Structure 1
Amino acid sequence: MTTHPPAPSRRTLLRALAALPVTALALGELPGLLGAAEAAAPAGGYATRYTIVPFLNSDDGTVNVYQSDDATDFRLLQSSAYTPPANRIRDASVFKHTDGYYYITYTTHTWQDPSTTIGFARSADRVNWTFLYDYPVPIANLSRAWAPEWFVDSDAGVNVIVSCSTTDDEWIFTPYVLTATDSALTAWTAPTALSGIGSNHIDTYIVKAGSTYHAFTKNETAKYIEYATATSLKGPYTISRTGDWAGWGSYREGPCVIQLDNGGWRIFFDGYGDGNYYYSDSYDTFATWTAPTALPTLSGTARHFTVIKETVTGGASLTKNATRSFRSVNYPTRYWQEVSSLLDLPVVTGSSATADKQAATFTVVAGLADAGGCSFRDAAGNYLRHYDFRGRFDANDGTTAFAEDATFIARTGTATGSVRFESYNYPGRYLRHYNYQLRVDISDGTDLFRQDSSFLPVTSWA
């Protein structure tokens, strides 16, 4: 494939009184600090790590911690990692502060009850959490303070965006910003409403790209996630996209936006109407989006979360400018081999023909689209790329599309020393064998898929 395809709950009784039906980072690690310069595949020996701390569909009294190396296949790191000493924990937002600690802020009560505080906790390792305090949001006649979301501005200011309603209409929410006035995050400015977004918007999540603030916010009447921009954090914002503008559908909430290793942007949102958790990608700064895809391991389990992205040590390491053969982890007699320009997985042994050994030998080079990634060249100088999601070898035509199709990001495999190869321009899709053919398929979150997509770089056959 050579192009990115464009896109053409919380509260099932949130408007209960109206009887509406329901169908449905230190720098580089923090919301609001993601920029193009930070979008790159991790260097050898390093890995990208995404962390989320969602509450559970079955229990809003505790949160699990999950992590992923590709923002698609999230694996449980710790169940019931944090249970507050009192009240509930919903809509947890997480970030890593400059003091080295991870912090979460969260909604402290279930949706039926008045909720005038937001909670805070911190952790040194993302697994063991310590309760800090419940903060009474100082808004007159406050009824509910929901969905606090961290936002760290480019001046390193730490903010929380929180959706608040008052007792005159407890179901009409307005986004407010609180700014920390100390590095310990114990003192906050008075809440200020975000100008231009207006009331009846909830779950407002903001990222900054260049000098523009981009807000994704749920219109609680229409049940769609809307899009607004501003030149300052507090606004005024201009809402420019409404309705089903991105093709995500209705009854969506809890948006969170991060930048992927290939420079694209990914939004996650809670599809509370159908029980799925979705993601969708944009490669033109939020103008168009890919069709929403359900997260394989989280749908039906996790609710409303935000994501932090870090670069950590311990990732896959693959020597560049060296010849290697690649052995299947779960079929150890089978190796990558070029067969009529396609990549297959036949049996190769010491008694195999010289031509078969040569066809199972490849040169690993720096990624054509990103030097932190990798590309693979055969003896004739052709490159492995995906075409209609099939692995095949073609001559480099010098186009950006070819370079992206022929670039893969090395992720840690299931066996010691093994590597998984994620498509650079279709994140979440991996080279995997199916019927002994190599395809670029989307992860389904199963252990079998991870094994089918894990390969050991070994001494080359030729």
Structure 2
Amino acid sequence: MITSDTPAQPVPPSRRSLLRAMAALPATALVLGGLPGTLGTAAAAAPARGYATRYTIVPFLNSNDGTVNVYESDDATDFRLLKASAYTPPSNRIRDASVFRHTDGYYYVTYTTHTWQDTSTTIGFARSSDRLNWTFLYDYPVPVANLSRAWAPEWFVDSDGSVNVIVSCSVTSNEWNFTPYLLRATNSALTSWSSPVALAGIGANHIDTFVVKLGSTYHAFTKNETTKYIEYATASSLTGTYTIRRTGDWAGWGGTREGAALVQLDNGGWRIFFDGYGDGSYYFSDSYDTFATWSAPKKLPVVSGTARHFTVLRETVAGGVTLPTAVSRSLRSGNYTTRYWQEQSALLNLPVVTGSSTTAEKQAATFTIVAGLADANGYSFRDAAGNYLRHWDFRARFDANDGTSTFAGDATFIARTGASTGSVRLESYNYPGHYLRHYNYQLRVDLTAGTDLFRQDSSFVSAAAWA
């Protein structure tokens, strides 16, 4: 198993404290899925052959709240810039953008329209056919009496197909005390909305509320602005009444975290993203037991320190890379073209293999690719003795299959597009975002660094078998 430790971070003041203090100062793929909120049960699967997973985020920038970038990823970890300054509204600002794909085929964003200093009684809407080119639609005045600020609107598509926005609102008598409200679209064009309804049970002084539905239960993640922690609540109805079940540092994420957003991964687990606004970083953490426990938070590569408050759109799209199965192949390094996978004393290394190598060396560099032990849409690799490639304490090695689900997860890899034409990257099934890569000519499983060098070191080419 791969384990890691995350050092404690200094605890800066909360966003609300900062706001109060500062206020005193002078002034074209085939899409098969992807609606947020309707992600079903935790039984997910890697994309089928010929398809790929695609995650999209549309964050505003740490340095500029007047525009948003578009990033995409195939693993929910390594986000690559798709287009800088992809959308700039005709007036005002764009913060806290939430994105989803509607049944009309368009992508929609809704967002906060003003910076924190200003009264902000509207939320903005824009749409795109390709995620790259966006058209402003309108600013919607949120009809809450005595409204001071409407912040962080989040899309939620319910299991009945209804499209909703959950928005954090405060009133003029207490402008930094937010309550989550629900707006429901009353037409398919998303231009007409129901009267706002407060989410019962969550209560005032909660901000950035994000909801997902599993079965018949609604799960809400919301920041308590008194304690500064992201809390967890459940309800049998979208509007509540919610019961807050976890408070304080219940998940080990620490305080001064906000902007929670969840997405389901290919292996069925759930990933939460949140803005560590006090330290300027962005984090993620994973759960495999319906939100009871979470992995230690890690900084999100590439966009951490650049991106601010976003939601994540997951889609299954045509394309993706595949490997032949039930055949013997050799795996060549994508950036060291004379080096191949080779089993040496049960460990997987990357030595030079040529036509003049011994028969034993060629046999040790030949493997059978089979359907993944944990997910048939993934891949597992078997040596001549019938042992399987798996990760153990970061290292890639071959062991006999003990029949456990842990072994199956350790021995299953999801094919992702490689750094060069014809190459493939192999993501760990049970540690998403971790890839087989060579380091000092040894094969190990490491969390992506989001760099070109890491992508090259983790890219391999399926070649004709040496033996």
- With normalisation by structure 2, the TM-score equals 0.95
Partners of 2:42 and 2:269 within 8 A in 1: no
Counterpart residue type for residue 184 of structure 1: A
Look up the match of 1:337: 342
Residues of 2 paired with 1:299 and 1:238: CA distance?
32
Counterpart residue type for residue 349 of structure 1: T
Change (3 A) 1:375 1:27: closer
- Please state if 1:199 is matched with 2:199: no
Partners of 1:6 and 1:288 within 8 A in 2: no
Look up the match of 1:308: 313
Look up the match of 2:417: 412
Partners of 1:214 and 1:227 within 8 A in 2: yes
Residues of 1 paired with 2:181 and 2:75: CA distance?
32
Look up the match of 1:291: 296
Look up the match of 1:211: 216
**Equivalent runs, 1:30-49 vs 2, <5 Å:** 30-36=35-41, 39-49=44-54
Counterpart residue type for residue 211 of structure 1: S
Counterpart residue type for residue 348 of structure 1: V
How many residues get paired?
457
Partners of 2:80 and 2:302 within 8 A in 1: yes
Partners of 1:6 and 1:290 within 8 A in 2: no
Residues of 1 paired with 2:280 and 2:224: CA distance?
19
SS at 2:363's partner residue?
A: helix
Residues of 1 paired with 2:155 and 2:134: CA distance?
17
Residues of 1 paired with 2:130 and 2:377: CA distance?
27
Look up the match of 2:56: 51
Look up the match of 2:73: 68
Partners of 2:32 and 2:315 within 8 A in 1: no
SS at 1:403's partner residue?
A: helix
SS at 2:360's partner residue?
A: helix
Look up the match of 2:332: 327
- Please state if 1:265 is matched with 2:306: no
Gaps spanning 5+ residues in structure 1: where?
20-24
After TM superposition, the runs of 4+ consecutive aligned structure 1 residues lying more than 4 A away are: 2-12
Gaps spanning 5+ residues in structure 2: where?
9-13, 25-29
**2:163 equivalent among 158, 166, 170:** 158
Residues of 2 paired with 1:234 and 1:139: CA distance?
16
Residues of 1 paired with 2:218 and 2:158: CA distance?
10
Residues of 1 paired with 2:395 and 2:379: CA distance?
18
Residues of 1 paired with 2:346 and 2:234: CA distance?
47
**1:374 equivalent among 364, 379, 384:** 379
CA drift at 1:288: 0.5
CA drift at 1:6: 12
Change (3 A) 1:242 1:18: farther
Counterpart residue type for residue 410 of structure 1: A
CA drift at 1:220: 1.0
SS at 1:338's partner residue?
A: strand
CA drift at 1:5: 9.9
Partners of 2:31 and 2:318 within 8 A in 1: no
Residues of 2 paired with 1:6 and 1:302: CA distance?
21
Look up the match of 2:11: none
Partners of 2:6 and 2:298 within 8 A in 1: no
**2:261 equivalent among 256, 259, 262:** 256
**2:402 equivalent among 392, 397, 409:** 397
SS at 2:18's partner residue?
A: coil
Partners of 2:23 and 2:117 within 8 A in 1: no
Residues of 2 paired with 1:2 and 1:112: CA distance?
44
- With normalisation by structure 1, the TM-score equals 0.96
**1:461 equivalent among 456, 463, 466:** 466
Counterpart residue type for residue 275 of structure 1: G
CA drift at 1:412: 0.4
- Please state if 1:103 is matched with 2:108: yes
Counterpart residue type for residue 67 of structure 1: E
Look up the match of 2:361: 356
SS at 1:14's partner residue?
A: helix
CA drift at 1:43: 1.7
Q: RMSD of aligned C-alpha atoms?
A: 2.0
- Please state if 1:78 is matched with 2:87: no
